[in-house]
Amino acid sequence: MIISLLSVLLVIGLGYSAFIVYKLFQSADKIIDSSKESTVNVTTEPFNILLIGMDEENLDKGRADSLNLATINPKTETIQMTSIPRDTYVEIPCKNNLRDKITHAHAYGGTDCTIDTVEQLFDTTIDFYVKVNFNGFVDVIDAIGGVEMNVPDLREGFLSYIQSPDDPGLVPFPEQMAVFQEGNVWCESDSSRERYAICFDTFGVQQVNGEEALALARTRHYDSDGDRGNRQMEVVKAVAKKMASLEGVFSLDKVLDAAADNVATNITVSQMTSLVSLGQKILAARGGDIDGFAFRTLQIQGEGFIFEGELNGRAWYSIPYLESIEYLRQQISMALGLSPVIMAGEVSYNANLQYPRPEYMANLTPMFSDIVPSADDSPVIENDPLVETEVKEFTCEDGQTSVNGICPTPIVPEEFTCEDGQTSVNGICPAPIVPEEFTCEDGQTSVNGVCPAPVVPEPETCPDGQAPVNGVCPAPVVPEPETCPDGQAPVDGVCPSNTKPEEE
């Protein structure tokens, strides 16, 4: 998430200043938060940038899915990246130091709360921030024509996860599961959160597009948060390397257009312009070789726990080790030039690879000593009164409402007999069985297994000699009498009343 913006900033620092600055001035009103501007001179003073990757399209809402602190020292020409796993259990200042996952700090109080939380955790000052969402990440990678990445083989971890996921609602659909169980692929959600939409069936170094790079940067359930952090740093370097190529030069306008719609920062145009000069200086000192532009990467070390809360059910947290936090505070302070550099004589490392586990990793102490885990294989902490995690309700596929983020057992309706005699399946009648046609006794063809009403032939002549009308004989015609019994003549076929003779 934050990786795409970091790459854009690195591009700014690696040259092409005139064109980039022009585009930045065009985009300034959209992306720059002038209310939080810093007066730091980025060409002469060390500074911290907090890189925030959002899991929502709206940059002002939701959780911070990815957090990395970039410590840049223009005097020593060094960049140090400190990765903060999203489930790290910390105190949230804007919630009266309530303990919760650091990813929730943004949901509680936005950018300010997230910055305050990281500053308190590392006892440092954050000068700048950059926020970017999933769309920004994907668009930037696609704008430069993809990047070269090492795709790990996570098939074993993927298969284990989908068979017993943290959330039963994440079990693939049956047709998906049948394919996945063959063990040929591993898959991750895409930027629109469609489950298992991005799949890998070949592994090793290869070209990937924006959606595939996002899947690599996001996935953590099949290995670990630490491995995810390493992949994010790999994406940063891959993007920077691509942008330093000729192809990258011609895609700068697309990159900045993508960033403008999905990015927020308090770095001013003037400071970005200064970063151009700094980047040109560093790159020139390395003979223009982007591979020599190294990053030192560090990460919080902690121990995972499952919390049992009355309101939230089971939730996974990582409690950082005190020794790890103290070590990182020291490293950040040294990188900023605020404390003397301490050299560890026996430690050597390649800055382009994962930093080795320091000696302090022996005999570690959880940061919050008042929390004591059980002796189970998966430690459980019961009803920590300081845990507060908001779990939103949603409608399950069978229409039921989720409870603590999990769908209840599906309701299976009772069977009943359908009109055609078949038995219902899950409350639904199967498609009706259509019987074969046959010829009825009167020569007609059956319809749905039933003979139509018999056809009655029309009589040719009625008994009284009249012609039938619509197959029905009219009322019989009664002939008129020629003379009435009393000798009178009939009128319209009817005899008049008898006329009695007058008496004499």
Number of Cβ within 10 Å of residue 27's Cβ equals 17
pLDDT at 55 (0 to 100): 76
Helix, strand, or coil here: 217? helix
Tell me the C-alpha to C-alpha distance, in Å, between residue 178 and each of 163, 170, 255, 312. Answer: 11, 15, 39, 32
Query: How far, CA to CA in Å, does 103 sit from each of 96, 111, 317, 407, 489?
Result: 16, 11, 11, 23, 115
pLDDT, residue 29, reads: 64
* pLDDT of res. 21: 55
List per-residue pLDDT tens for the chain, 504 residues long.
444 455 555 544 444 445 555 665 666 667 777 778 888 998 899 999 998 988 777 788 888 888 889 898 888 888 888 889 888 889 999 989 988 889 999 988 999 999 999 999 999 999 999 888 888 888 888 888 899 899 999 998 888 888 876 666 667 777 788 888 888 999 998 888 888 889 999 999 999 999 999 999 888 888 877 788 778 778 877 776 676 555 655 666 677 777 777 888 888 878 877 776 676 666 666 665 655 555 677 888 887 776 654 444 456 788 888 888 989 999 999 999 988 876 554 434 333 433 344 444 445 666 765 654 443 433 444 444 344 444 456 677 667 776 655 667 777 777 888 887 888 877 788 877 777 888 888 888 888 778 888 876 666 778 777 777 777 788 777 666 677 777 777 776 677 776 655 554
- Listed residue (139, 128, 132) closest to 30, CA to CA: 132
Alpha-helical regions (H) of 401-500: none
pLDDT by residue (tens digit) across 35-59? 788 889 988 999 999 989 887 777 8
137 Cβ neighbours under 8 A, 6+ residues apart: 1, 3, 4, 53, 191, 210, 213, 214, 217, 262
17 contacts 277 by C-beta, under 8 angstroms: yes
Instruction: Answer whether 68's CB lies under 8 Å from 79's CB.
Output: no
Q: Kindly give the interhelix angle for 2-13 and 134-143, rounded to the nearest 10 degrees.
A: 50
Provide the pLDDT for residue 434.
76
CA distance 226 to 53: 16
pLDDT of residue 302: 81
Residue 486: what pLDDT? 75
Q: Hey, what domains does the chain have and what are their CATH numbers?
A: 2-152+203-382 (3.40.630.190), 392-436 (no CATH)
Centre a 10 Å sphere on the Cβ of residue 98 and count the other Cβ atoms it contains: 16
- Whether residue 231 contacts residue 216, with contact meaning beta carbons closer than 8 Å, is answered with yes
Angstrom distance (rounded) from CA 380 to CA 346: 38
DSSP code string of 229-240: HHHHHHHHHHHH
64-73/78-84 β-pairing: antiparallel
How far is 200 from 52, CA to CA, in rounded Å? 27
231-260 as b/e, with b when 16 or more CB fall inside 10 Å?
bbbbbbbbbbbbbbeeebeebbeebbebbb
Percentages of the chain per state (helix, strand, coil), in multiples of 5:
30, 20, 50
CA dist 175 and 452 (Å) reads: 44
Beta strands in 57-157 (DSSP E): 64-73, 78-84, 89-92, 98-101, 128-133, 147-151
Cβ pair 269, 32 in contact under 8 A: yes
